[in-house]
């Protein structure tokens, strides 16, 4: 090896696609290629001259491939400071090559976990040499260029076609490298501990803007794991907030269900045997607010339903699949966002930035169920009321607090959302239900928290609402129970509060 006469690019990757184009761009710029095992074989088969890391280190790949590049001559070539006289003297003394570029990607750890690999297979996908090479090259970005992902090959090739990477180019790539390193280590931590206790983010996706046009916005994560976008403009910051709310809500329902959301809250929702009927009854909940909203279904969108949906303007539709004829109808609006919701596991933790830190909490995975309800009144809810109480409770869980939900025959009649008073939330819901000509007789009422006074059940009784579901837990619960008993209303406690701030 002529160690001092040229600069080397060290290539050691798991995924080989796109590598030869990058290798050619490096060779065109005068870099010698230095590589290991399968990567070296791949490059040589493509016609490149490649020097072996084993020849540099005088060690073969050992321990079943666990040790290949972990050697002072490799890491010295990466970490040596070119402007430090002492470093350069040692480079000459120990015959260390000048490794100016490092191209590495990591063993697919997360993919192996998701694919159901055995514990042994997963452990073997914890990359040691690769992560070390990435960190070393990124640390010494002033003298070494790290290309840590095949997603960066094309940007790197574009730089090489114009000349050599600037220090600013190398710094940007180093930042990407440490992002990849952090994400990788957090995934391993989560697997070994079984806890989603650390914030794990995917790559940055720049959005058109944030909540408002004057605010910059980005999404960190892998949307392709959640959605396949079939049509329409790019998702915005607010689109993503609404889509998240819609997905969380629809996952509560097993029956054929359609929901319409606006500003993260359901303004219409119905469960029916027929999808078109579910859509029509969901829309009836608030046809005014549905304008410009988000539609979501837990069933394939058929042609008949698509035709009905197409009659109004909406921004986004989300469903597990679409009939081809339905897509042809829905795609008639060029900016309409059409998403397929994939089968994915939502993260166990939720995070929110505030003040000078981050709040973290476990996601609310608990859903109220009929067999866990505690009947607190003399009258037990009948079968229809019980079904509606659970239906209303599911919507209540995903509506901004303070909230009251009114429902009947598995249809959302109205909701009072985000009010500072629970009485105000109820009054808002009643006013809204009446505005769309709903009959509240024998409807049910759900509350996301307990009633400190009997005022809400009194108002509900005046509207002929027959049954109530609430968490319970107030020191004055008995006042509301007594009122319901006196008026022959049914009340059940869930024992679980579902605040959503």
Residues catalogued as catalytic? 139, 263
Count how many Cα atoms sit within 13 Å of the Cα of residue 416 in the half-sphere of its side chain: 23
Three-state secondary structure of 92-111: HHCCCCEEEEEEECCCCHHH
Q: Burial level of 106, CB count in 10 A (0-12/13-18/19+)?
A: buried
Burial per residue of 293-328, b for 16 or more beta-carbon CB atoms within 10 angstroms, e otherwise: bbbbbbbebbbbbbebbbeeebbbbbbeebeeebbe
Cα 319 to the center of its chain, rounded Å: 17
Q: CB pairs under 8 A, 24+ apart, for 305-310?
A: 305/258, 305/275, 305/276, 305/279, 306/330, 308/276, 308/279, 308/280, 309/279
Q: How many CB atoms lie within 10 A of CB 148?
A: 27
> Do residues 414 and 436 touch, judged by C-beta distance below 8 A?
yes
Q: Which two tokens stand for residue 156?
A: 């790197």
> Do residues 74 and 97 touch, judged by C-beta distance below 8 A?
no
- CA dist 16 and 18 (Å) reads 6
């Amino acid at each position: 090896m002529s160690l001092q006469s040229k600069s080397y690019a060290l290539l050691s990757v798991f995924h080989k696609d796109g590598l030869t184009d990058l290798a050619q761009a490096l060779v065109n710029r005068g870099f010698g290629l230095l590589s290991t095992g399968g990567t070296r074989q791949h490059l040589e088969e493509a016609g490149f001259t490649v020097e072996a890391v084993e020849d540099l280190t005088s060690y073969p790949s050992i321990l079943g491939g666990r040790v290949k590049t972990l050697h002072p001559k490799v890491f010295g070539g990466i970490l040596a400071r070119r402007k430090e006289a002492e470093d350069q003297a040692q480079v000459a003394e120990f015959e260390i090559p000048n490794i100016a570029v490092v191209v590495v990607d990591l063993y697919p750890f997360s993919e192996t976990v998701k694919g159901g690999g055995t514990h042994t297979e997963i452990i073997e996908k914890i990359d040691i040499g690769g992560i070390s090479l990435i960190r070393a090259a990124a640390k010494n970005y002033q003298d070494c260029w790290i290309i840590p992902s095949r997603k960066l090959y094309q940007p790197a090739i574009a730089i090489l076609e114009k000349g050599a990477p600037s220090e600013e180019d190398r710094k940007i790539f180093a930042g990407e490298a440490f992002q990849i390193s952090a994400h990788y280590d957090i995934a391993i931590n989560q697997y070994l501990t079984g806890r989603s206790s650390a914030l794990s983010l995917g790559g940055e996706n720049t959005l058109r803007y944030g909540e408002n046009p004057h605010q910059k916005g980005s999404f960190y994560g892998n949307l392709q794991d959640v959605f396949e976008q079939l049509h329409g403009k790019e998702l915005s910051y607010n689109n993503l907030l609404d889509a998240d709310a819609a997905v969380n809500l629809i996952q509560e329902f097993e029956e054929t269900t359609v929901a319409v959301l606006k500003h993260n809250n359901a303004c219409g929702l119905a469960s029916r045997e027929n999808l078109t009927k579910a859509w029509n009854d969901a829309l009836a909940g608030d046809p005014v607010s549905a304008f410009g909203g988000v539609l979501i279904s837990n069933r394939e969108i058929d042609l008949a339903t698509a035709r009905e949906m197409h009659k109004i303007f909406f921004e986004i539709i989300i469903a597990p699949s679409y009939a081809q004829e339905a897509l042809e109808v829905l795609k008639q609006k060029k900016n309409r966002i059409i998403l397929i919701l994939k089968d994915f596991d939502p993260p166990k933790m939720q995070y929110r930035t505030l003040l000078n830190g981050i709040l973290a909490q476990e996601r609310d995975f608990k859903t109220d169920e009929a067999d866990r309800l505690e009947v607190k009144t003399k009258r037990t809810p009948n079968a229809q009321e019980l079904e509606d109480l659970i239906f209303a409770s599911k919507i209540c869980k995903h509506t901004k607090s303070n909230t009251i939900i009114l429902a009947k025959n598995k249809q959302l009649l109205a909701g009072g959302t985000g009010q500072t008073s629970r009485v105000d939330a109820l009054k808002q819901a009643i006013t809204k239900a009446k505005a769309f000509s709903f009959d509240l007789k024998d409807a049910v009422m759900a509350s996301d928290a307990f009633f400190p006074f009997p005022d809400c059940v009194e108002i509900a009784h005046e509207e002929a609402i027959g049954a109530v579901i609430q968490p319970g837990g107030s020191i004055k619960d008995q006042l509301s129970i007594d009122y319901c008993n006196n008026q022959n209303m049914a009340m059940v406690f869930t024992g679980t509060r579902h605040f959503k701030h």
